[in-house]
A and B are shown apart, each in its own frame.
Chain A
C-alpha cells in the first residue's frame, strides 16, 4: 500500500459538508462553541429517536432526527482545531447515511433507490475530498446547490411528511446526479492541467477558499 504523495491536507470544516441552515446557525454563534459536544448531543438524540420509535415516526415527526442533528450546526463556524474535532465530519456523514438508509427502508422505498441515493452522496463526499487534495475545489455555488447534509435530510423528511417518500428519493437522486455530473465535467474542463505532485494552490477549501 502506498501513501498518496500528492495528498494535500483538507480543512476539517470543509469535510463537514454543511448546508445553508447549519452554516447559518453556526454564523449566529460565531464559532464560540467547540464542535465535538454539540455533534455528540445531536447524534445521541437522533440515535435515540431512530432506535426508540422510528417505525412510529410519521408526518412532521420525521423532521425530528434531522432537527436534532442540527444541534451540531452551532459549531460549524468553529475552526475545528481541537484534539478530537476530527470525529465530527465522520459523525455527521454517518448520521446522514444512516438517516437516508433507515428512513428509506422503514418507509418501504425500493432498495435499489435507497442504495443509489446513499451511493451518490458517498460519491459526492469522496469526490470533494479528492478534488480538494488535488487543488481543484468545487465552486461555492456547487457546494450550496448540493444542499449539505442538513438540506438533504430535511428535503427527504419533507417528502416523507407529505407521503411522497419514494418520489422524494427519486427526485433528490436525479437532482444530485445531474448537478454532480454537470459540475464535475465543467470544473475539470476549466481546470488547468497540472502535475499531481505540483503545488495545487488553495487547498484550504470551504469558507477560506471562497473568501480568498
Chain B
C-alpha cells in the first residue's frame, strides 16, 4: 500500500465503505482511483491558479476529494495488486504533488510574487530530501556485494590465500596431538566444539517483562519507546500526503498561495528530523 498520511488513514478510510463497496461491484481498481486522484489534483491545481477566494476554495474541495480517492484506493489495494499497479500508484502520488506545487507557483506568480518559482523549487527540494531520508532509513547494506569483489584481495588474503577457504580441523588428529579431551556436552555433530565467547547473562537480577520470560526481549529505549507511546504524533511528524494537502489547504485559505511553500518547507524539515530519529526498519 502507498503512504497516505494520518488524515486519510484515520479520518477518511472509515468513511470510505460505501464507495469501496460500489467500486468493488463495478470492478474499479486501486490504479483507477489513483488516476482519478491525479485528475482531481490537476483540477485543484487549475483552481489554485485563480487569484480569487472562490478559486482557492474550489481547489481545497478538489484536494479533499483527492484524499478521499486515496482512502478508497487504499482499501481496494488491500486485496492484492500487481507490481505495475503498485508502482504506478506510488508514481502518480509523486507526480501529482509536483503538479500541485507548480500550480501553486503559477498562482503566486499571478499574485505578483516574483520569487514564487524559487519557493516552489525549495519546497520540492525539501520534499525530495524527506523522501530520500525515508528511503535510506528503510534501506540496507548488502554484504553479498563482497561476492563480486573476491578478485580484489586484501593484504592479509594476499599473504595467506588459504585463509578464507581453510578446511575444518580434524578433531581426531587434534585429540591425538593434544591428548584427547573427554567428550563435552556442547560438542556439535562432527566434533566441532562451540566456543563460548562471553559468560552467560544473568541480567543483574532484572525482572523480565510479564508475558515474555524467554530472555530474548530487550526493553525499547529512546525514540523507539517514544514512538510506541505517541504513535499518532509520530505519524503526524512523518508529514504524509494528507498532512501536506491539509497544510496547503489551510495556508491557501487563511493566507494566500505563497504562504503554502514556507509552511511545507517547515513541515518537511520536521519530517526529516523525525525520520532521522526513527530506528531503522531493516537491519543487516
Contact = CB atoms under 8 A, between A and B. Distances in A.
Contacts of B116: 111
Nearest to A110: B117
Interface string A70-105: 000000010111000111111001100110010011
Contacts of A197: 80
Contacts of A110: 117
B245 interface: no
A99 to B, nearest CB: 10
Interface stretch (A59-67, A167-175, A187-195): A187-195
B164 to A, nearest CB: 17
Interface residues of A, number: 65
A94 B136 CA distance: 13
Nearest to A90: B132
Contacts of B120: 111, 115
Contacts of A112: 102, 105, 117
Contacts of B127: 122
Contacts of A119: 98, 102, 124
A4 B127 CA distance: 19
A129 B276 CA distance: 18
Contacts, number: 190
Given A2-B1, A196-B81, A15 B149 contact: no
B138 A195 contact: no
B79 to A, nearest CB: 11
A79 B141 contact: yes
A94 B1 contact: no
Interface string A193-207: 111111010001011
Contact of A11 (B5, B117, B142, B149): B142
Contact of A9 (B95, B121, B147, B282): B282
Contacts of A98: 125
A94 B147 CA distance: 31
B237 to A, nearest CB: 11
A11 B140 contact: yes
A87 B141 contact: no
B270 to A, nearest CB: 15
Contacts of B235: 1
A157 interface: no
Contact of A80 (B82, B85, B141, B238): B141
Interface stretch (B86-94, B174-182, B209-217): B86-94
Q: Is the interface of B mostly helix, strand, loop or mixed?
A: helix
A207 B146 CA distance: 11
- Interface secondary structure of A, over-half rule: helix
From B82, B235, B280, residue with most partner A Cβ within 10 Å: B82
B63 to A, nearest CB: 18
Interface stretch (A47-55, A131-139, A140-148): A131-139
A103 to B, nearest CB: 12
A10 B139 contact: yes
A118 B80 contact: no
Contacts of A44: none
A194 B83 contact: yes
B156 to A, nearest CB: 13
A85 B142 CA distance: 12
A117 to B, nearest CB: 9
Interface in B112-163: 116-118, 120-122, 124-125, 127-129, 131-133, 135-149, 152
Interface of B: 1-6, 8-9, 74, 80-87, 90-91, 94-95, 98, 101-102, 105, 116-118, 120-122, 124-125, 127-129, 131-133, 135-149, 152, 235, 238, 240, 276, 280, 282, 284
List 3 tightest A-B contacts by C-beta distance, closest first: A111-B117, A81-B141, A196-B86
Given A9-B139, A90-B132, A208-B144, 9 more contacts: A9-B138, A11-B141, A13-B141, A101-B118, A115-B102, A119-B124, A122-B131, A130-B90, A130-B91
22 contacts: A10-B138, A10-B140, A12-B136, A15-B132, A15-B139, A79-B141, A85-B141, A90-B133, A93-B129, A118-B121, A118-B125, A119-B124, A122-B94, A123-B95, A126-B91, A127-B87, A191-B84, A195-B81, A204-B142, A204-B145, A207-B145, A208-B145
